[in-house]
Amino acid sequence: MNVTDEDFAPNPLAAADDLVRRLGSHRTEPAANPQLEALSLAVSANLPVLLWGEPGIGKSAGLQQLAAGLRVPLETVIASVHEPSDFAGLPIIGDDPATTGVPMAPPDWAVRLATAGRGLVFFDELSSAPPAVQAALLRVVLERRVGSLALPEPVRVVAAANPPSSAADGWHLSPPLANRFVHLQWTHDPRTVARGLAGTWPAVPLPLIDPARVPSAVARARGVVSGFLTARPGLAHHLPGDAESRGRAWPSPRTWEMAMRLLAVGYAAGSDQKAVAAAVVGAVGDGAGLELLAYLEQLDLPDPDRVLANPEAFALPKRGDRQLAFLTAVVSAVQSDLTRRRWEAGWTVLAKAVDAGVPDVAARAAADLAALRDTDWPVPSGIDAFLDLLQLSGALPGAS
Protein backbone atom coordinates (compact mmCIF):
# COMPACT_ATOMS: atom_id res chain seq x y z
CA MET A 1 0.00 0.00 0.00
CA ASN A 2 1.51 3.32 -1.08
CA VAL A 3 1.26 6.32 1.27
CA THR A 4 1.12 9.73 -0.42
CA ASP A 5 1.21 13.29 0.82
CA GLU A 6 -2.56 13.47 0.23
CA ASP A 7 -3.13 10.95 3.06
CA PHE A 8 -1.70 13.49 5.54
CA ALA A 9 -3.41 16.56 4.09
CA PRO A 10 -6.04 18.23 6.30
CA ASN A 11 -9.67 17.45 5.59
CA PRO A 12 -10.86 20.31 3.39
CA LEU A 13 -14.38 20.06 4.92
CA ALA A 14 -13.27 19.95 8.57
CA ALA A 15 -13.63 23.67 9.14
CA ALA A 16 -16.99 23.70 7.33
CA ASP A 17 -18.24 20.81 9.47
CA ASP A 18 -17.15 22.64 12.62
CA LEU A 19 -19.02 25.75 11.48
CA VAL A 20 -22.21 23.73 10.88
CA ARG A 21 -21.93 22.10 14.31
CA ARG A 22 -21.56 25.48 15.98
CA LEU A 23 -24.64 26.83 14.20
CA GLY A 24 -26.57 23.71 15.22
CA SER A 25 -25.83 24.05 18.93
CA HIS A 26 -28.42 25.85 21.03
CA ARG A 27 -29.85 26.05 24.50
CA THR A 28 -33.43 26.03 25.75
CA GLU A 29 -35.26 28.16 28.27
CA PRO A 30 -38.66 27.92 29.97
CA ALA A 31 -41.30 29.88 28.10
CA ALA A 32 -45.08 30.11 28.09
CA ASN A 33 -46.07 28.24 24.94
CA PRO A 34 -49.59 26.72 25.00
CA GLN A 35 -49.06 24.61 21.87
CA LEU A 36 -45.92 22.98 23.30
CA GLU A 37 -47.69 22.44 26.63
CA ALA A 38 -50.74 20.95 24.90
CA LEU A 39 -48.46 18.53 23.02
CA SER A 40 -46.73 17.50 26.25
CA LEU A 41 -50.09 17.11 27.99
CA ALA A 42 -51.44 14.78 25.30
CA VAL A 43 -48.23 12.76 25.19
CA SER A 44 -48.27 12.40 28.98
CA ALA A 45 -51.87 11.17 28.70
CA ASN A 46 -50.59 8.58 26.16
CA LEU A 47 -52.98 9.78 23.48
CA PRO A 48 -52.02 9.86 19.79
CA VAL A 49 -51.36 13.46 18.71
CA LEU A 50 -51.56 14.93 15.21
CA LEU A 51 -49.77 18.23 14.54
CA TRP A 52 -51.25 20.27 11.69
CA GLY A 53 -49.07 22.94 10.14
CA GLU A 54 -47.40 24.25 7.03
CA PRO A 55 -44.09 22.69 5.94
CA GLY A 56 -40.90 23.92 7.55
CA ILE A 57 -42.27 25.41 10.80
CA GLY A 58 -40.53 23.11 13.25
CA LYS A 59 -42.83 20.15 13.83
CA SER A 60 -39.99 17.64 13.57
CA ALA A 61 -37.68 19.77 15.69
CA GLY A 62 -40.32 19.99 18.43
CA LEU A 63 -40.61 16.20 18.49
CA GLN A 64 -36.84 15.78 18.73
CA GLN A 65 -36.76 18.11 21.72
CA LEU A 66 -39.72 16.34 23.34
CA ALA A 67 -38.08 12.93 22.97
CA ALA A 68 -34.85 14.32 24.45
CA GLY A 69 -36.77 15.76 27.40
CA LEU A 70 -38.53 12.45 28.01
CA ARG A 71 -35.21 10.60 27.57
CA VAL A 72 -36.77 8.12 25.15
CA PRO A 73 -35.73 7.02 21.65
CA LEU A 74 -37.43 8.71 18.71
CA GLU A 75 -38.33 6.79 15.54
CA THR A 76 -39.39 8.91 12.57
CA VAL A 77 -41.45 7.19 9.87
CA ILE A 78 -42.38 9.10 6.70
CA ALA A 79 -45.87 7.68 6.19
CA SER A 80 -46.24 8.93 2.63
CA VAL A 81 -43.38 6.76 1.29
CA HIS A 82 -44.55 3.50 2.85
CA GLU A 83 -46.82 0.72 1.65
CA PRO A 84 -49.76 -0.65 3.67
CA SER A 85 -47.77 -3.83 4.36
CA ASP A 86 -45.13 -1.74 6.14
CA PHE A 87 -47.68 -1.17 8.91
CA ALA A 88 -49.85 -4.27 8.61
CA GLY A 89 -46.73 -6.49 8.49
CA LEU A 90 -45.16 -8.65 5.81
CA PRO A 91 -46.26 -12.31 5.73
CA ILE A 92 -43.50 -14.75 6.63
CA ILE A 93 -44.29 -18.37 5.78
CA GLY A 94 -42.97 -20.92 8.26
CA ASP A 95 -42.52 -24.68 8.07
CA ASP A 96 -46.21 -25.54 8.49
CA PRO A 97 -48.55 -22.59 7.86
CA ALA A 98 -51.62 -24.78 8.36
CA THR A 99 -50.53 -25.42 11.96
CA THR A 100 -48.70 -22.28 13.03
CA GLY A 101 -50.35 -19.75 10.73
CA VAL A 102 -48.52 -17.03 8.82
CA PRO A 103 -46.99 -14.39 11.12
CA MET A 104 -46.81 -10.78 9.93
CA ALA A 105 -43.26 -9.53 10.32
CA PRO A 106 -42.92 -5.97 11.67
CA PRO A 107 -40.54 -3.33 10.27
CA ASP A 108 -37.23 -2.52 11.94
CA TRP A 109 -38.39 0.69 13.65
CA ALA A 110 -41.13 -1.20 15.48
CA VAL A 111 -38.67 -3.86 16.61
CA ARG A 112 -36.32 -1.19 17.97
CA LEU A 113 -39.13 0.42 19.97
CA ALA A 114 -40.28 -2.95 21.31
CA THR A 115 -36.71 -3.79 22.34
CA ALA A 116 -36.29 -0.43 24.09
CA GLY A 117 -39.61 -0.90 25.93
CA ARG A 118 -40.55 2.76 25.50
CA GLY A 119 -40.15 5.53 23.00
CA LEU A 120 -41.85 7.95 20.67
CA VAL A 121 -42.84 7.08 17.10
CA PHE A 122 -43.37 10.04 14.79
CA PHE A 123 -45.42 9.47 11.63
CA ASP A 124 -44.61 12.42 9.38
CA GLU A 125 -46.47 13.61 6.26
CA LEU A 126 -49.61 11.70 7.23
CA SER A 127 -51.89 13.71 4.94
CA SER A 128 -49.72 12.72 1.96
CA ALA A 129 -50.28 9.01 2.65
CA PRO A 130 -52.89 7.42 0.35
CA PRO A 131 -56.10 5.99 1.86
CA ALA A 132 -54.78 2.39 1.81
CA VAL A 133 -51.80 3.40 3.97
CA GLN A 134 -54.05 5.38 6.31
CA ALA A 135 -56.24 2.31 6.73
CA ALA A 136 -53.20 0.19 7.63
CA LEU A 137 -52.19 2.79 10.22
CA LEU A 138 -55.50 2.47 12.08
CA ARG A 139 -54.39 -0.56 14.09
CA VAL A 140 -50.97 0.94 14.80
CA VAL A 141 -52.49 4.11 16.24
CA LEU A 142 -55.35 2.54 18.18
CA GLU A 143 -53.96 -0.82 19.31
CA ARG A 144 -50.22 -0.15 19.04
CA ARG A 145 -49.79 -3.28 16.94
CA VAL A 146 -47.47 -3.46 13.92
CA GLY A 147 -47.94 -6.75 12.14
CA SER A 148 -47.72 -9.47 14.79
CA LEU A 149 -45.74 -7.22 17.17
CA ALA A 150 -47.40 -5.38 20.06
CA LEU A 151 -45.64 -2.12 20.90
CA PRO A 152 -45.10 -1.59 24.65
CA GLU A 153 -47.68 0.59 26.40
CA PRO A 154 -45.12 3.36 27.18
CA VAL A 155 -44.59 3.96 23.43
CA ARG A 156 -46.21 7.27 22.47
CA VAL A 157 -47.58 8.06 19.00
CA VAL A 158 -47.27 11.50 17.37
CA ALA A 159 -47.97 12.35 13.75
CA ALA A 160 -47.70 15.45 11.61
CA ALA A 161 -49.67 16.53 8.59
CA ASN A 162 -49.76 19.44 6.20
CA PRO A 163 -53.12 20.81 5.06
CA PRO A 164 -54.12 19.08 1.81
CA SER A 165 -53.69 22.39 -0.02
CA SER A 166 -49.96 22.48 0.82
CA ALA A 167 -49.20 18.75 1.04
CA ALA A 168 -47.58 16.88 -1.83
CA ASP A 169 -50.43 14.85 -3.34
CA GLY A 170 -52.41 15.65 -0.20
CA TRP A 171 -55.42 13.64 0.94
CA HIS A 172 -58.07 14.33 3.56
CA LEU A 173 -57.68 11.97 6.50
CA SER A 174 -60.28 9.22 6.72
CA PRO A 175 -62.80 9.79 9.54
CA PRO A 176 -61.82 6.57 11.42
CA LEU A 177 -58.15 7.61 11.49
CA ALA A 178 -58.82 11.28 12.27
CA ASN A 179 -61.05 10.31 15.20
CA ARG A 180 -58.14 8.54 16.89
CA PHE A 181 -55.98 11.66 17.29
CA VAL A 182 -55.79 14.79 19.40
CA HIS A 183 -55.45 17.44 16.67
CA LEU A 184 -53.19 20.40 17.46
CA GLN A 185 -52.61 23.37 15.20
CA TRP A 186 -48.86 23.96 14.93
CA THR A 187 -47.96 27.56 14.20
CA HIS A 188 -44.80 29.65 14.40
CA ASP A 189 -44.18 32.88 16.27
CA PRO A 190 -41.71 35.11 14.37
CA ARG A 191 -40.24 36.36 17.68
CA THR A 192 -39.64 32.77 18.82
CA VAL A 193 -37.99 31.94 15.51
CA ALA A 194 -35.76 35.01 15.74
CA ARG A 195 -34.66 34.15 19.28
CA GLY A 196 -34.19 30.50 18.37
CA LEU A 197 -31.94 31.33 15.44
CA ALA A 198 -29.92 33.45 17.86
CA GLY A 199 -29.34 30.27 19.87
CA THR A 200 -32.20 29.97 22.38
CA TRP A 201 -35.37 27.95 21.74
CA PRO A 202 -38.30 27.45 24.16
CA ALA A 203 -38.11 24.25 26.19
CA VAL A 204 -40.87 21.68 25.87
CA PRO A 205 -42.49 21.62 29.34
CA LEU A 206 -43.30 18.20 30.75
CA PRO A 207 -46.38 17.91 33.02
CA LEU A 208 -45.44 16.62 36.45
CA ILE A 209 -48.36 14.66 37.88
CA ASP A 210 -48.79 14.93 41.63
CA PRO A 211 -49.67 11.40 42.87
CA ALA A 212 -51.71 12.89 45.71
CA ARG A 213 -53.95 14.66 43.17
CA VAL A 214 -54.62 11.63 40.98
CA PRO A 215 -57.79 10.21 42.65
CA SER A 216 -59.44 13.62 42.83
CA ALA A 217 -58.37 14.49 39.27
CA VAL A 218 -59.89 11.29 37.88
CA ALA A 219 -63.13 11.86 39.80
CA ARG A 220 -63.42 15.50 38.66
CA ALA A 221 -62.78 14.64 35.01
CA ARG A 222 -65.39 11.88 35.04
CA GLY A 223 -67.93 14.14 36.72
CA VAL A 224 -67.33 17.00 34.27
CA VAL A 225 -67.64 14.97 31.07
CA SER A 226 -70.55 12.87 32.31
CA GLY A 227 -72.43 15.94 33.53
CA PHE A 228 -71.80 17.86 30.31
CA LEU A 229 -72.97 15.05 28.03
CA THR A 230 -76.05 14.53 30.18
CA ALA A 231 -76.91 18.19 29.63
CA ARG A 232 -75.90 18.11 25.91
CA PRO A 233 -76.61 14.55 24.69
CA GLY A 234 -76.58 15.64 21.06
CA LEU A 235 -72.83 16.20 21.28
CA ALA A 236 -72.02 12.62 22.32
CA HIS A 237 -71.48 11.76 18.64
CA HIS A 238 -71.55 14.14 15.71
CA LEU A 239 -69.89 13.23 12.41
CA PRO A 240 -69.35 16.41 10.33
CA GLY A 241 -70.91 16.65 6.91
CA ASP A 242 -67.91 17.73 4.82
CA ALA A 243 -64.76 15.72 4.08
CA GLU A 244 -62.33 18.31 5.45
CA SER A 245 -64.06 18.52 8.84
CA ARG A 246 -64.37 14.73 9.06
CA GLY A 247 -60.58 14.59 8.68
CA ARG A 248 -60.08 16.75 11.79
CA ALA A 249 -61.32 16.56 15.38
CA TRP A 250 -65.00 15.78 16.01
CA PRO A 251 -66.99 14.44 18.98
CA SER A 252 -67.55 10.72 19.47
CA PRO A 253 -67.56 8.44 22.53
CA ARG A 254 -63.89 7.70 21.77
CA THR A 255 -62.85 11.36 21.67
CA TRP A 256 -64.90 12.22 24.78
CA GLU A 257 -62.92 9.54 26.60
CA MET A 258 -59.77 11.21 25.28
CA ALA A 259 -60.98 14.60 26.52
CA MET A 260 -61.69 13.10 29.94
CA ARG A 261 -58.15 11.72 30.13
CA LEU A 262 -56.70 15.10 29.11
CA LEU A 263 -58.72 16.86 31.82
CA ALA A 264 -57.60 14.33 34.42
CA VAL A 265 -53.92 14.76 33.52
CA GLY A 266 -54.35 18.54 33.51
CA TYR A 267 -55.97 18.51 36.95
CA ALA A 268 -53.34 16.17 38.40
CA ALA A 269 -50.43 18.17 36.96
CA GLY A 270 -51.85 21.64 37.57
CA SER A 271 -51.38 22.41 33.86
CA ASP A 272 -51.95 25.79 32.27
CA GLN A 273 -55.61 26.28 31.38
CA LYS A 274 -54.81 27.43 27.84
CA ALA A 275 -52.86 24.24 27.19
CA VAL A 276 -55.68 22.07 28.57
CA ALA A 277 -58.20 24.00 26.48
CA ALA A 278 -56.15 23.52 23.29
CA ALA A 279 -55.81 19.78 23.95
CA VAL A 280 -59.50 19.27 24.75
CA VAL A 281 -60.62 21.18 21.65
CA GLY A 282 -58.10 19.12 19.68
CA ALA A 283 -59.84 15.95 20.86
CA VAL A 284 -63.54 16.76 20.31
CA GLY A 285 -63.41 19.66 17.86
CA ASP A 286 -64.08 23.37 18.04
CA GLY A 287 -67.84 23.38 18.58
CA ALA A 288 -68.12 20.70 21.26
CA GLY A 289 -64.80 21.66 22.83
CA LEU A 290 -65.67 25.33 23.24
CA GLU A 291 -69.04 24.40 24.74
CA LEU A 292 -67.31 22.13 27.24
CA LEU A 293 -64.85 24.88 28.16
CA ALA A 294 -67.67 27.36 28.71
CA TYR A 295 -69.39 24.74 30.87
CA LEU A 296 -66.19 24.28 32.88
CA GLU A 297 -65.85 28.01 33.53
CA GLN A 298 -69.24 28.05 35.24
CA LEU A 299 -68.90 24.71 36.99
CA ASP A 300 -66.26 25.19 39.71
CA LEU A 301 -66.81 21.77 41.33
CA PRO A 302 -65.70 21.16 44.92
CA ASP A 303 -62.88 18.65 45.43
CA PRO A 304 -64.72 15.31 45.92
CA ASP A 305 -62.02 13.88 48.21
CA ARG A 306 -62.26 16.87 50.55
CA VAL A 307 -66.03 16.53 50.62
CA LEU A 308 -65.81 12.82 51.45
CA ALA A 309 -63.45 13.64 54.30
CA ASN A 310 -66.10 15.91 55.84
CA PRO A 311 -69.44 15.29 54.09
CA GLU A 312 -71.51 17.24 56.59
CA ALA A 313 -69.69 20.51 55.93
CA PHE A 314 -70.43 21.11 52.24
CA ALA A 315 -73.41 22.62 50.46
CA LEU A 316 -74.85 20.95 47.36
CA PRO A 317 -74.53 23.10 44.21
CA LYS A 318 -77.82 24.73 43.24
CA ARG A 319 -77.75 24.19 39.48
CA GLY A 320 -78.92 20.81 38.23
CA ASP A 321 -76.01 20.23 35.83
CA ARG A 322 -73.49 21.07 38.57
CA GLN A 323 -75.29 18.74 40.98
CA LEU A 324 -75.13 15.85 38.54
CA ALA A 325 -71.47 16.45 37.67
CA PHE A 326 -70.53 16.73 41.34
CA LEU A 327 -72.39 13.59 42.45
CA THR A 328 -70.85 11.62 39.59
CA ALA A 329 -67.41 12.84 40.72
CA VAL A 330 -68.14 11.81 44.32
CA VAL A 331 -69.05 8.25 43.31
CA SER A 332 -65.96 8.03 41.11
CA ALA A 333 -63.80 9.21 44.03
CA VAL A 334 -65.31 6.53 46.28
CA GLN A 335 -64.66 3.89 43.63
CA SER A 336 -61.01 4.93 43.24
CA ASP A 337 -60.33 4.41 46.98
CA LEU A 338 -63.11 2.18 48.26
CA THR A 339 -63.45 1.91 52.02
CA ARG A 340 -66.50 1.57 54.22
CA ARG A 341 -66.00 5.06 55.67
CA ARG A 342 -65.79 6.69 52.22
CA TRP A 343 -68.75 4.63 50.95
CA GLU A 344 -70.90 5.76 53.86
CA ALA A 345 -69.72 9.35 53.39
CA GLY A 346 -70.91 9.09 49.79
CA TRP A 347 -74.41 8.30 51.00
CA THR A 348 -74.29 11.33 53.29
CA VAL A 349 -73.49 13.44 50.24
CA LEU A 350 -76.29 11.90 48.17
CA ALA A 351 -78.75 12.42 51.02
CA LYS A 352 -78.26 16.17 50.62
CA ALA A 353 -79.77 15.90 47.16
CA VAL A 354 -82.86 14.40 48.75
CA ASP A 355 -82.94 17.17 51.35
CA ALA A 356 -82.66 19.70 48.52
CA GLY A 357 -85.71 18.18 46.84
CA VAL A 358 -83.88 16.72 43.82
CA PRO A 359 -83.65 12.95 44.45
CA ASP A 360 -83.99 12.29 40.72
CA VAL A 361 -80.64 14.01 40.11
CA ALA A 362 -78.95 11.62 42.54
CA ALA A 363 -80.75 8.46 41.35
CA ARG A 364 -78.06 7.33 38.89
CA ALA A 365 -75.25 8.13 41.33
CA ALA A 366 -77.11 6.19 44.02
CA ALA A 367 -77.34 3.09 41.83
CA ASP A 368 -73.60 3.30 41.05
CA LEU A 369 -72.71 3.82 44.71
CA ALA A 370 -74.88 0.91 45.80
CA ALA A 371 -73.10 -1.37 43.34
CA LEU A 372 -69.82 -0.70 45.21
CA ARG A 373 -71.14 -2.05 48.52
CA ASP A 374 -69.26 -4.86 50.24
CA THR A 375 -71.78 -7.47 51.37
CA ASP A 376 -70.45 -7.24 54.93
CA TRP A 377 -71.24 -3.54 55.19
CA PRO A 378 -74.55 -2.55 56.80
CA VAL A 379 -76.95 -0.34 54.88
CA PRO A 380 -76.47 3.28 56.05
CA SER A 381 -79.37 5.52 57.01
CA GLY A 382 -78.69 7.91 54.11
CA ILE A 383 -79.82 5.26 51.68
CA ASP A 384 -83.43 5.22 52.87
CA ALA A 385 -84.71 7.69 50.28
CA PHE A 386 -83.32 5.51 47.47
CA LEU A 387 -84.38 2.06 48.68
CA ASP A 388 -87.38 1.66 46.40
CA LEU A 389 -85.39 2.72 43.36
CA LEU A 390 -82.41 0.51 44.20
CA GLN A 391 -84.47 -2.59 44.97
CA LEU A 392 -86.43 -2.12 41.77
CA SER A 393 -83.21 -1.90 39.76
CA GLY A 394 -81.57 -4.80 41.65
CA ALA A 395 -78.58 -2.62 42.64
CA LEU A 396 -78.97 -3.40 46.33
CA PRO A 397 -80.30 -6.96 46.66
CA GLY A 398 -81.33 -8.00 50.13
CA ALA A 399 -81.43 -4.44 51.49
CA SER A 400 -83.89 -3.95 54.30
Whether 324 and 176 map to the same domain: the answer is: no
Least confident of 105-119, 269-283, 296-310: 296-310
Has residue 21 been placed in a domain? no
Whether 221 and 143 map to the same domain: the answer is: no
**In the chain, how many domains are there?**
2
Asked if pLDDT for residue 352 goes beyond 50, the answer is yes
Q: What angle do CA 299, 302, 304 make, to 5 degrees?
A: 125
Whether 266 and 335 map to the same domain: the answer is: yes
Whether 279 and 374 map to the same domain: the answer is: yes
Has residue 26 been placed in a domain? no
Confidence (pLDDT) at 400: 46
- In CATH, what number is assigned to the domain containing residue 97? 3.40.50.300
pTM across the whole model: 0.81
Whether 229 and 353 map to the same domain: the answer is: yes
Least confident of 50-59, 149-158, 243-252: 50-59
Run of H or E residues at 182: strand 182-185
Whether 116 and 171 map to the same domain: the answer is: yes
Has residue 205 been placed in a domain? no
* DSSP secondary structure string for all residues of 194-244: HHHHTTEEE--------GGGHHHHHHHHHHHHHHHHHH-GGGSS---SSHH
Whether 231 and 312 map to the same domain: the answer is: yes
Is the backbone of residue 89 left (phi > 0), alpha (psi -120 to 50) or beta? Answer: left
Distance between start and end Cα atoms, the chain: 100
Least confident of 73-77, 195-199, 217-221, 391-395: 391-395
* pLDDT, greater one: 250 or 361: 250
* pLDDT, greater one: 311 or 301: 311
Confidence (pLDDT) at 242: 87
Domain housing 351: 212-393
Whether 275 and 134 map to the same domain: the answer is: no
Q: What is the pLDDT of residues 22-42, one digit of tens each?
A: 988 888 888 778 888 899 999
